[in-house]
Chains A and B, each alone.
Chain A
Amino acid sequence: MNYCNVQVNNPHNSTHVPENVNVTGGMTCAPYPVVQSDLSLQLYYNGESYAYDDSYLSDVYVNPVQAATPCLSGNYYATIEFWIYFGPTWTPSTWDSEVTSPVVAITC
């Protein structure tokens, strides 16, 4: 049984640190932690890879990822590739996939 959710939010203008494009996302699992989780976040600008973050955590409920970069006007999207190991007693014991945000137009 898969009890986790992996979400990538839409890239956006940072309102806390202006003049940057920010993207957040991550894994949330409940009501149990997972044994291992590996997430890779890519932020794309006009189709080209522009910023990156990854996070490998063990025995956690959540595994957040975030990437930011100086803002250039254009089209952005983000992907998270992930691999989760629930533990040997779970069937299936792992889950790997990719989630992708819609393409959003950002003006700086």
Chain B
Amino acid sequence: MTAKTGHAPDAGYIGLGVPRREARRLLQGRGRYVDDIRLPRMLHVAFARSPYAHARIVSLDVSRAAASPGVIRVVSGPEVAAMCSAWVGVVSNRKGLKSAPQHPLAIDRACWQGEAVAAVAAESRVLAENAVQLIDIEWQELTAVTDAETALDAATPVIHPSLGDNLAFQCEVDTGDVEQAFAAAHRIVEATFHTGRHTPVPLEPRSILADFNPAERQLTVYQATQVPYMLQWILARHFGLPEVNVRVIAPDVGGSFGTKIHVYGDEMTAVALSIMLGRPVKFVADRLESFVTDVHARGHRVKARMAVSQAGDILGVDIDDLYGIGPYSGYPRGSASEAQQVINLVGGPYRNRVYRGRSRAVFQNKNMYGQYRAVGHPIACAVTEGLVDFAADAVGMDPAEFRRRNYIPDDAYPYRLPAGPVFEKLSQHEAHDKLLKLMDYAGLRAEQAALRPRGIYRGVGLAAVVKMSNPSSATYGQGGVSIAAQDGCTLKLTATGGITCATSINEFGQGAATIVAQIAASALGVALDRVKVVSGDTEATPYGGGNWGSRGTGIGGEAVLRAATALRQHILAFIARLLETEPSLLDIRDGNVVDAATGEARMTLEDVARTAYFRSDKVPADFSPELVVTRHYTQKTYDGICTNGIQGCYLEVDVETGFVKLLKHWVVHDCGTMVNPLLVDEQIRGALVQGLGAALYEECLYSPEGQLVNGSLFDYLVPMAREMPDIEISHTCTPTATSGLGAKGTGEAGTAGAPAAVMNAINDALKPFGARVTAQPFTPERILRALGRI
């Protein structure tokens, strides 16, 4: 295990709930999102999309569209494919994951409703949309594969015959002793859990503005993205450009949650058009096309059972997971991650070691499928926590007590899971006790019992959560995918004693810029307002992976800490030489170099900078002050650092209407070192509410023919202020020993646990009726069906 390294950030701004400075411009409507940027001679692109889930393009005639007013160019699949190479969404260390070559625009055949087949570049979006209506396409509809359950049947057509079948990926685990454990069990509980296919719905749609300068063969892309360097690699690779000629800038980004870490054909087509025409080309998805093209996720069916002893010990877990992805595996991250996470994490924070699991991902003629906040975790959590509640009920134990009995013991860490991953250290027992106190578990039970005779059915639900963070290169780099597991930070002492901080993690609302500034200011000993953060530009920041997988603070923050520690050392070495003393006798406090023992000011940082930059005559001839420092960090000890926590949900079910009213929600989370509690708590609440959406409202509903039938914000319900509860948060703190900062992830755990907590609370409320729901979202209809009322 790596020892704690670097300057301990135990002072300064670490742990302070500092409001975000960048929020000020957003509050005044002065944010600058991609759609706010206008460049000279800019064109707008709009797309013709397949109206069918699966159809052959018999003919495609763009002549009428090309003659439409304001149209500069109309392109179809082959023209774009000639300049942008095809991609295949496989990751080599996800063994067996397969997919077919995919082009920016469909060629010959469209494989999902919404797949782009032709594009119009015109002087305005309106003119481009007008022309799209004039593209004449003759379709021959093909049989659509839309049911994951039958996708592997011999009678079902194979979407890509070259692949042999519709199985995209399969992974398994078997500790070998499951049958014996179930045979010996006191009770066996089983259920089939469904999670609804849903989609992240960031409020800012996907947006890209590509600006190709043919004179220099320089491509500049402004994009709403979480991952500028990934995009730089992708664009250089598929358009055959030198990577140094590709610049990706992420300006203000209006939410993402995983949507904006993927390669999308329409965005690649916008880039292709810019290269073709030598003009800036903008594409901003509208909401209706977002629903049929932004990645979907989480549409699983899990058959699961748990064996339990009379005393309430979990004896074994057995699951079979199936989910339908799109017609291709997502690129470049692949669509196998949910399978892997479900297999890895079912069983959660419990000490049971008898486990068999299988997960299969199958191709379907539905929209593309990809990584959404807390990839796979909400499914693993719902299955585990659902089974735990059923098992507790089967042996007549209180569900809280059942959990406490089965958690991994505190002295068992690091703890290797049956499926392979290792938990560095969890605080599950402490978090559990803290939550029960926070929510007054006993008091809620008493209230629940008191209200039942009055026909008020309330439920209490718990969900213990484990959430991976700080991923190593095992996730992508080792699978041949150029997405960095490391991040970097460059710190510069400016000429007047300020600090600029260029970081490879970027900001899309979570507060990365403020976190980074807090760490830099604390480790350097300067005031927060002296630090200026630069991010989201491949020509301005060190190389790094960007933000995904709960890694921003844990990885990017540690790089900042290391850079700040090094810059501090450089400054002190320089001044020690100037003052003919030892660096160890000096310190930096409040922006001044001081005598470490007395605190007496020796030099301001402005004087340090002025001496270095303008009065080199005062600097000894053999000494070169280096006041710009870059450091990187990557977590190499584990595949990822697991965070943990627990949620409690209190709700009321109207057994006449099936409506659920969320009354209150509580969370205890352990993200290790907490840099900014204000931002941490807001991340948890926001993530939690996304999970509440999955639990109660959100599902992409498809007809048997593969038509998305609720693809608007009126038909696809999302959580709004009125239905959401107040959420009370507390923390435990187990810093990771793999970094000096000790920070672990915080942005996804809320999403991971919320559906399970809601499910358990609903089933707790329905207990007097012997009714249970296990299919998300828990709509009034599903609840009434469970109650036998419809």
Say whether A and B bind each other: no
Residue numbers of A with Cβ under 8 A of B are none
Residue numbers of B with Cβ under 8 A of A are none
